[in-house]
Amino acid sequence: MNAQSTEIATYNFAYLDEQTKRMIRRAILKGIAIPGYQVPFASREMPMPYGWGTGGVQVTASIIGPDDVLKVIDQGADDTTNAVSIRAFFKKVAKVAVTTETAKATIIQTRHRIPEHPLNAGQVLVFQVPIPEPLRFLEPRETETRKMHALEEYGLMHVKLYEDIAKHGRIATTYAYPVKVEGRYVMDPSPTPKFDNPKMHRSPALQLFGAGREKRIYAVPPFTDVVSLDFEDHPFEVQTFDQPCALCGAANVYLDEVILDDHGGHMFVCSDTDHCEKRRADSTSPSWGGRAKGADGGNGQSSLSSTPTPARRADPRHKGEGKEAE
């Protein structure tokens, strides 16, 4: 792909200038070489506010090439504001092909979810990270948290998880659940639900994390141990849902609660829109068989016709509904 001669003036390919890309690329390589370590980088201002994925966008812009196929998700969805605008951004500044299909993408930029479809070895998952430092809310000083990482001093994090147990009887952290990478660095997996933590463990895909405002890049190479912190008597466990997706009937996926009206009507649907649409388009597809079973009792077609009607209740009880296994 050469410079577009039809345009009078245009941004450099993928928006960033080459020196910025080189600086970010060097940070990415160091991040891969030191899994879980937050590499400082000279984050640039991007044409979007902090909190909208400036870190992820800079990482994507630095790795993307004309042959890449980009997918962008926001809380699992391809069609929400953040995903739509970032996808449009790269369509404009890099003229790359975009997709909503997880399996067809070479780069997936994500805000707070890991797709349900298993990732493969050629794919790169780019996370948008608001607060990269897992110890920040326990110790506000950067000088101190840096020393804690240097000395592998993570006692404070275990105290925090213990206090959860003392107060709530269980570890109450449900997202941004701290992990230990390759037995060394404690890392914030970004505010993904802890449901997604096990997918990071020995994933065949390369995982890159960009925090624009906090100016940090970190990485988890493929096939790297990512272990959620826990205690022997309070082992790590993921959220479970007591009902399947109301649209596609999938069980063992992460569900979003959708409010339907102001009378307490609501339904739980797949957070991963691509996964849900695929299943509804072809609920007998063998690739979904393992997950579909149990949701629709092995009877693929019936789940489509008998989509559950949303429950109507006068008295909405939302106390941890569907969020936590007791």
Partner 1 sequence: MDIATQSIDGGFAEPVFNAQVVFRAIMDAMARPGAVQDVPQLTRPPAPLSATAAAAALSLCDNDTPVWLDPPLQAEASVKAWLGFHTGAPMANTPADAHFALIANPKEMAALDGFAQGTQEYPDRSTTLIFLVDDLASGPSLLLEGPGIEKTSMIAPPGMPRHFVEQWKQNNQRFPRGVDIILAAPGSLACLPRTTRIKTMEA
What residues are annotated to the active site?
36, 245, 248, 270, 276
Q: Does 27 bind partner 1 (CB under 8 A)?
A: yes
Does position 4 interact with partner 1 (CB under 8 A)? The reply is: no
Instruction: Please state, as a whole number, how many other Cβ atoms lie within 10 Å of the Cβ of residue 175.
Output: 15
Smallest CA-to-CA distance from 253 within 120, 82, 73, 113 is with: 113
- # residues near partner 1 by CB under 8 A: 45
Here the tokens at position 115 are 């797709």
- Interacting residues of 175 by C-beta distance below 8 A, sequence separation 6+: 112, 191, 192, 193, 194
Q: Which of 139, 182, 257, 277 binds partner 1 (CB under 8 A)?
A: 182
Answer yes or no whether residue 325 interacts with partner 1 by CB under 8 A: no
CA 149 to chain centre: 24
Question: How far is residue 197's CA from residue 176's CA, in Å, rounded to a whole number?
Answer: 9
Q: Which stretch binds partner 1 (CB under 8 A): 64-72, 267-275, 287-295, 307-315?
A: 64-72
Stretch that binds partner 1, among 13-21, 228-236, 259-267, 296-304 (CB under 8 A): 13-21
Instruction: Dihedral sign for Cα 45, 47, 49, 55, please.
Output: negative
Using CB under 8 A as the binding rule, whether residue 23 contacts partner 1 is answered as yes
Contact 117, 102 (CB under 8 A): yes
Q: x-or-dash pattern for partner 1, window 210-239, by CB under 8 A?
A: ---------x-xxxxx--------------
SS3 21: helix
Task: Please say whether the dihedral angle defined by the alpha carbons of residues 226, 134, 84 and 270, taken in this order, is positive or negative.
Answer: positive
SS3 70: strand
Report how far residue 249's alpha carbon sits from residue 261's, in angstroms, rounded to the nearest whole number. 22
CB of 150 to partner 1, least distance (A): 4
Q: Is 44 in the site for partner 1 (CB under 8 A)?
A: no
Measured between alpha carbons, how far is 175 from 189 in angstroms, rounded to an integer?
A: 9
H or E segment at 217? Answer: strand 216-220
The answer to whether residue 289 forms part of the interface with partner 1 (CB under 8 A) is: no
Q: Which is nearer to partner 1, 120 or 240 (CB)?
A: 120
CB of 222 to partner 1, least distance (A): 6
Tell me if 233 sits within 8 A of 165, measured CB to CB: no
* Interacting residue with partner 1 among 127, 185, 209, 241 (CB under 8 A): 185
Q: Of residues 4, 11, 33, 289, which one binds partner 1 by CB under 8 A?
A: 33
Nearest 5°: the CA angle 169, 129, 200 is: 65
Nearer to partner 1, 217 or 245 (CB): 217
The verdict on 66 binding partner 1 (CB under 8 A) reads yes
Q: State in angstroms the smallest separation of the CB of 110 from partner 1.
A: 18
Q: Which among 56-64, 82-90, 186-194, 264-272 is the span making contact with partner 1, rule CB under 8 A?
A: 56-64
Instruction: Name which position in 47, 49, 51, 65 contacts partner 1 (CB under 8 A).
Output: 65
Site mask, partner 1, residues 122-161, x = CB under 8 A? ------------------------xx-xxx----------
List the alpha helices (DSSP H) in the chain: 18-33, 54-63, 81-93, 142-150, 155-168, 197-200, 273-281, 289-292, 300-305
Nearer of residues 39 and 157 to partner 1, judged by Cβ = 39
Q: Which residues contact 63 (CB under 8 A, 6 or more apart)?
A: 25, 28, 107, 124, 126, 208
Q: Which residues bind partner 1 (CB under 8 A)?
A: 1-2, 12-13, 18-19, 21-23, 25-35, 37, 39-40, 62-66, 121, 146-147, 149-151, 182, 184-185, 204, 206, 219, 221-225
